[in-house]
Structure 1
Amino acid sequence: MNEKLPILNVHMLGDFSVMYGNQPISFGKNTTTKAMKLLQILLYHGEQGISREKLLNALYVREELADASNNLRVTVHRLKKIIVDAGLPADEYIHIKKGIYSWQAPMRVEVDVKRFVSLYKESKECTDKERKEELLTQVCQMYHGEFLPALSGEEWVLLESIQYKKIYSESLKELCESLMTKGEYEEVLALCESACRMYPFDEWQSVRIECFIRLKRFKEALKEYEDTAKLFFEELGITPSDRLLKQFDEMSNQMNHTNPREINEIKERLKEDSDRGGAYYCSLPSFRDSYRLVSRMLERNGQSAYLMLCSITDGKGHPMEKPEKLAVMAEELQNSIQHSLRRGDSFTKYSSSQYLILLTGTNKENCEMIFDRLRKYFSREHKSWGKNLEYFVSSIADVENPDSPIQFQKDKNVW
């Protein structure tokens, strides 16, 4: 090894890239060719190497080749040329001995994954709290995302990726707990911001909310909660976890003693956009609360209100099974409801193909007219779409009745 040569830095967490000293090395835009897969495997296994059998399995397991070994020889030859053409010093690089393929470079090679694991192991053995925090911080800062994401479909990559994510999650959790005991909330906020970006459904938002609450920055805590609740429902169709709901209650309790001077600011936050017309769209949790409130009001004033369930079908009464078409139609249905109903009506998305509408101060006959108006607007540009829409309606008083056409299962998280 020539110590005078620059170091070859290889990054595999979050993306695959190679730096030779200060110079980025490009092996071409396509990182999923057989030659590029081979390069990444060899760099990952380094001088210890990988057996021919495992290499063939990693490269050709999904292909029926008459002579996979010959294909491997051709790929090795092609890769050697690619390496030199990319700007690295001329050398053999790929060493083959007794069926073991290894990476042998003239310069020192540093792979981020290896350093990542080494720091993690050192942190587990470290007994000095300050040094342990430093090591955990380095581990978290080194993790930029999934291991070799372009090859995430490969079984060996997936298995390794799971282990590295586990290391990151454990390290971040331990580091956040340590920092929060010292009141270093700003540092925790920054660390968890990256985690939320990479893994939005792992609920690192709850740690950020906790930090905002302890800093008494309740508006930021509330916004974090609202953004998270919206993300969970729109992407997964579920409401926030018990942990997030408890944090929301805690925020509400701590905001009870609001400074009177902040009342005008609160009123501005509560106000709806003045230019918003038509029916009011809200998240499912908000719609559920509106439904319950209207139910109570009807008990007192005797007025009527109806719940309408609009569903997109395949035109024959069956669920739409074409996801791309369904997404377009669902967006148009939301737009149609928004424009076809009154400002006093509210609605929400109940599933990927269904919307719930709360109609107040109307009767059952008018509900049919409302749906006809809605269907006409929905199919104004695509006449055939009219047959893809169907509805059920039930008075709020009858929704809990077993004979009602609209039923909500009690064990569903969404309702």
Structure 2
Amino acid sequence: MENDCDVKEETEGKELYVCTLGTLDARYGGEPLDIPLSAGGKVIQLFLLLIWAGKEGISRVKLQDSLYDRKNTDAANALRITVSRLRKMLSQSILQDKIKIEVYKSTYYLNVYDEHLKIGMDAVLMDNYYQQSQRAETDTCRQQLLESVCRLYNGDFLPVMSGEAWVESSRSHYQDIYFKSVREACALMARHRDYEKIVKLCDTALEIYPLVEWVEEKMEALLSLKRYGEALKAYENALIMASDLKKDKCRMIENRIANSMRSRCGQKVILHLQNVDLGEWGGKNEEAEKLQKQRDAGKRKRSKKYYMQR
């Protein structure tokens, strides 16, 4: 039985590996592929679609629908021309005689003729890891696979090809997988009290998509670690993000965040902040001012009690 936790993210040997998440890059044996991917166009899109389809291949109809507007283009003839151009491009590259475009029963394949050559794509690998995570029998295995999914995702699918119908459809699919993976990984990490990993995972997620949801996850983890100053910074950032939303939505999110802070912090955080300069975490908001006043009031109360005793 194949080990579902046997993840592999680095290319090895003579592997053709294509990165499509957040960028577009192809390497053969670790070196840049001598094919002008940045040029875009139908030829490069066909090349990517064939790699993405893998051994299952992709039908002629699907290729035509993905690459052309049937209403204004002779899709059948256009596809023949594009395939011919791609074959010529491959024959003039380092991949000549190693891979070939072949058609069988109206299905197109990118077949490998070098037993040492492997073809991979980050988007396909990400999809596979997520599917494996849903079948994993242990939390440890599942978390490992979900973390691999998150590491592979560096941004939108093929950002240089925005506007292409098949790209936009796939982009939504991979974004959805990423969001699910972050949520599920955070839940597993929280269950096992691995809060440091949650903070790191959310920091990376915030670099890709600065969403209030990731700030809330990070804030909860920081509170569990009793890193209250950093939690307050995360709280302030969440309020800033929420302020960009519609008024009603903004108020709802602000209330949710504030309630979370109060329920998780309580008096312990207020006492802790007596020894923390609120200026260290920067910025001002109502919650910060409230905590500052409570700290000052506590000092005055203790001082008054001291002099009365004397």
Do the two structures share a fold, i.e. TM-score over 0.5? yes
Tell me, yes or no, if the aligned pair for 1:8 and 1:20 is still in contact at 8 Å: yes
Identity of aligned residues (%): 29
Tell me, yes or no, if the aligned pair for 2:230 and 2:281 is still in contact at 8 Å: no
Helix, strand or coil at the partner of 1:186: helix
Q: Deviations over 1:46-93 (max 9, x none)?
A: 23222222211111127612x332222221122223334443234562
Which of 93, 96, 99 matches 1:89? Answer: 96
Which of 226, 241, 244 matches 1:231? Answer: 241
* Structure with greater strand share of residues: 1
Give the match for residue 39 of structure 1: 47
What is the letter of the counterpart of residue 239 of structure 1?
Answer: C
Distance of aligned partners of 1:271 and 1:41 in 2 relative to their CA distance in 1, 3 Å threshold: closer
How far apart, in 1, do the equivalents of 2:235 and 2:71 lie? 47
Give the match for residue 401 of structure 1: none
Helix, strand or coil at the partner of 1:249: helix
How far apart, in 1, do the equivalents of 2:282 and 2:29 lie? 56
Unaligned segments of structure 1, at least 5 residues: 273-281, 290-415
Which of 132, 138, 141 matches 1:128? Answer: 138
How far apart, in 2, do the equivalents of 1:223 and 1:161 lie? 32
Counterpart mapping for 1:7-86 below 5 A: 7-28=15-36, 30-61=38-69, 64-65=72-73, 67-86=74-93
How far apart, in 2, do the equivalents of 1:180 and 1:71 lie? 53
What is the letter of the counterpart of residue 271 of structure 2?
Answer: H
Q: Deviations over 1:268-310 (max 9, x none)?
A: 45998xxxxxxxxx9xx86xx9xxxxxxxxxxxxxxxxxxxxx
How far apart, in 2, do the equivalents of 1:6 and 1:29 lie? 19
CA drift of 1:31 comes to 4.6
Give the match for residue 269 of structure 2: 255
CA drift of 1:112 comes to 2.3
What is the letter of the counterpart of residue 52 of structure 2?
Answer: Y
Distance of aligned partners of 1:231 and 1:84 in 2 relative to their CA distance in 1, 3 Å threshold: farther
Which of 170, 173, 197 matches 1:160? Answer: 170
How far apart, in 2, do the equivalents of 1:70 and 1:108 lie? 31
* Structure with greater helix share of residues: 2
How far apart, in 2, do the equivalents of 1:92 and 1:129 lie? 39
Question: Highest relative contact order (Cα 8 Å, sep 6+), 1 or 2?
Answer: 2
Give the match for residue 9 of structure 2: none
How far apart, in 2, do the equivalents of 1:271 and 1:243 lie? 22
Helix, strand or coil at the partner of 1:204: helix
CA drift of 1:209 comes to 0.4
User: What is the TM-score with the length of structure 2 in the denominator?
Assistant: 0.75
User: What is the TM-score with the length of structure 1 in the denominator?
Assistant: 0.58
Tell me, yes or no, if the aligned pair for 1:140 and 1:171 is still in contact at 8 Å: yes
Tell me, yes or no, if the aligned pair for 1:31 and 1:150 is still in contact at 8 Å: no
Tell me, yes or no, if the aligned pair for 1:206 and 1:243 is still in contact at 8 Å: no
Which of 110, 126, 148 matches 1:103? Answer: 110
Query: Which structure has the larger Rg over C-alpha atoms?
Result: 1
CA drift of 1:180 comes to 1.7
Unaligned segments of structure 2, at least 5 residues: 1-12, 290-310
Tell me, yes or no, if the aligned pair for 2:202 and 2:214 is still in contact at 8 Å: yes
What is the letter of the counterpart of residue 200 of structure 1?
Answer: P
How far apart, in 1, do the equivalents of 2:159 and 2:270 lie? 46
How far apart, in 2, do the equivalents of 1:270 and 1:151 lie? 40
Tell me, yes or no, if the aligned pair for 1:179 and 1:188 is still in contact at 8 Å: yes
Distance of aligned partners of 1:252 and 1:87 in 2 relative to their CA distance in 1, 3 Å threshold: farther
How far apart, in 2, do the equivalents of 1:125 and 1:188 lie? 22
Give the match for residue 143 of structure 1: 153
